[in-house]
Amino acid sequence: MSDTTETLPPPPRLDNQLCFAVHSAALAFQRFYKPMLGAMGLTYPQYLVLMVLWQRNPLTVGGIGEQLLLDSGTLTPLLKRLEAMGYVTRRRDSADERQLIVSLTAQGRALEEIARAFPVRILEASECTAAELDGLREVLFALRRRLDALRDAAL
């Protein structure tokens, strides 16, 4: 009887895992953004919602969810808090009562001016060139698309 453990690959090491590198980088981004967003009274997920609305306003909850890859159960509490802070309004679509439309307020729109400085801060902190960061972003988006396609094919 042969020992099959000799033919098995070594156990995975955390520091060799791409998934952990991406996860830990995402956490580092959130820590980097925290003081800037804290000054605005925002969390990172709330900031992402506002970025979507700065690009396209108004938008349905479903439309925001598509952009951020989040479901309405996750978005609803975020949107309620943003509304309580005076940054967005939520209203039912008169043409389709099932749709909830989210719109920026003037106060929410004004935050975009503050946030314009964030990419420059990231660029400086990263010690990368703009082209390097653009390339990294494109590689990560392509990776996500391929992984999503594999997941969708398995369903």
* pLDDT, tens digit, 9 for 90 and up, residues 62-111: 999 999 999 999 999 999 999 999 999 999 988 888 899 999 999 999 99
What's the CA gap between 44 and 107, in Å, rounded?
Answer: 18
pTM over 0.85: yes
Residue 2: pLDDT over 60? no
What's the CA gap between 32 and 46, in Å, rounded?
Answer: 15
DSSP character at residue 9 = P
pLDDT of residue 130: 96
Domain 29-116 carries which CATH code? Answer: 1.10.10.10
On average, the pLDDT of the chain sits at: 93
- The string of pLDDT tens digits covering residues 135-155 is 999 999 999 999 999 988 988
Tokens 């094919």, residue? Answer: 153
Report which secondary-structure segment, H or E, holds 70: none
pLDDT of residue 95: 86
Tokens 């995975």, residue? Answer: 12
DSSP β-ladder status, 59-60 and 88-92: unpaired
Neighbours of 51 (CB within 10 A): 15
Residue 51: pLDDT over 80? yes
Tokens 């098995």, residue? Answer: 8
